[in-house]
Structure 1
Amino acid sequence: MSHIITRWWWIRHAPVTVANGRLYGQRNLPADISDKKIFSHLAEIIPKPSIWITTPLQRTTQTANAIANAAGINPEYKIESAFIEQNFGDWQGMTWEELRKSKNNGFHRFWVAPANESAPSGESFIDVMKRVNPAIDKLTKTYKGKNIISVAHGGSIRAAIAHALKLSPENALGIMIENCSLSIIDHIKGPSKGEEWRINTINSYPHFNTQEKLP
């Protein structure tokens, strides 16, 4: 029996430009899908056929549609509510300045709050991981050996990477996930009882220029 590889293609949704600098979280705002080049690029990369997964928020479906249209395919989307963006509760709709003042200028080193801090009437990043991780395991078993394209959110993709690498929730907040970026993660099941996760790429984006000098 050979190894069975289930490959996850995680794509963050296209930018949300109508938020006007406000934290949107689970607000169901539309995505800006005007950048046809990025969708054409992703369409060339993604495997066909694949299992397609989106979340209940329209920006993921709009992004998936833009990629599928560029690829000339019409996939069926499976909506996974466990992969929805973090619920920022009362912080949603606030500007970053308003949020900073409400927290007495106490921002997290990478994000608006530490991984264990829940937004008022919302959830923490730890809560996100608690719902994302079991959903990944379940879907990996359901679609064993297949390619899974999941168009999701920054929070859920960070959680997926942390799950694969066994990172702490706090360390996972240090992972950058750009809009329309691609992260590829393999689940490998061996011929015996062994199984493991392997990272292929994180936050890959065609506009990134590796030849540029780092600051």
Structure 2
Amino acid sequence: MPSTITAVRHGQSESNVAYARAAAAGVAVVLTVPDADVPLTPLGRGQATALGRRLAVGQAPEVVWCSPYLRAVQTWELVAAELDATPEVRLDARLGDRDMGRLSGMNLAAIRQRFPEEAERLLRAEYGYRAPDGESFSDVASRVRETVNAMRAECAGRRVLVVAHDAVVLMLKHVIEKVPLESVSVFAPVGNASVSVWRGSRSEIFNDDRHLRDISV
């Protein structure tokens, strides 16, 4: 069993900004960049640096499990630049963001335009919904559970840092604390570059972003 599991979400990404702008304008957006290749924004890079400074205070991670998505890898690289330690780093595809299949890159307005029946299904059962050729939150939970089991077997007594995504951090809460899947929505959204910490099955901090209060582009 790791002594602690600390999970952080990546900093603000270009897709985060595109979706927020589209939502504010009430328009549809379909991203053309593959989800795994979306980079951080300048603000996201600043957030990741501030996150690294926070993690540098106290006991640094001994093992890092990172999503292979570009925004997560960039976040870890900026965090690592602030640490004195050089932890072991593993890229693990099981920590990738939720795969939305044929709906990937689309906001809700775009889904309504192109796949109105899927939009209705999504709104009726958000946490039980599986996009065509994509994943449900249960699917994400299954791969997160596999990863947590691997951490428990391979990282006994060590401080583990997970660098990943909103959906992954939520599913860590579901898996580690056994919070029912239908109840995790009350903990969403998980903020960019936020920190969550578990010691055993107990949550010490969740979705904390106090280190970002003075961050700007």
With structure 1 as the length reference, what TM-score do the two structures score?
0.79
Counterpart of 1:11 in 2: which secondary structure? strand
Asked whether the equivalents of residues 4 and 159 of structure 2 are also in contact (C-alpha less than 8 Å), the reply is: yes
Shift of 1:6: 2.0
Asked whether the equivalents of residues 26 and 86 of structure 1 are also in contact (C-alpha less than 8 Å), the reply is: no
Provide the residue aligned with 2:167 in structure 1.
155
- 5 Å-filtered alignment, 1:66-215, equals 66-101=78-113, 102-103=115-116, 106=120, 108=123, 113-176=125-188, 177-187=190-200, 197-206=201-210
The partner residue of 1:60 within 66, 69, 72 is: 72
Asked whether the equivalents of residues 42 and 67 of structure 1 are also in contact (C-alpha less than 8 Å), the reply is: no
- Give the Cα separation in 2 of the matches to 1:39 and 1:207: 7
Provide the residue aligned with 1:29 in structure 2.
38
- Give the Cα separation in 1 of the matches to 2:142 and 2:131: 16
Alignment coverage as a number of residue pairs: 194
- Give the Cα separation in 2 of the matches to 1:23 and 1:173: 25
CA RMSD of aligned residues (A): 2.6
Counterpart of 1:172 in 2: which secondary structure? helix
Asked whether the equivalents of residues 26 and 88 of structure 1 are also in contact (C-alpha less than 8 Å), the reply is: no
Q: Percent identity?
A: 20
More helix by share: 2
Give structure 1 stretches of 5+ with no counterpart. 188-196, 210-215
Residue identity in the other structure for 1:182: V
With structure 2 as the length reference, what TM-score do the two structures score?
0.78
- Give the Cα separation in 2 of the matches to 1:29 and 1:160: 23
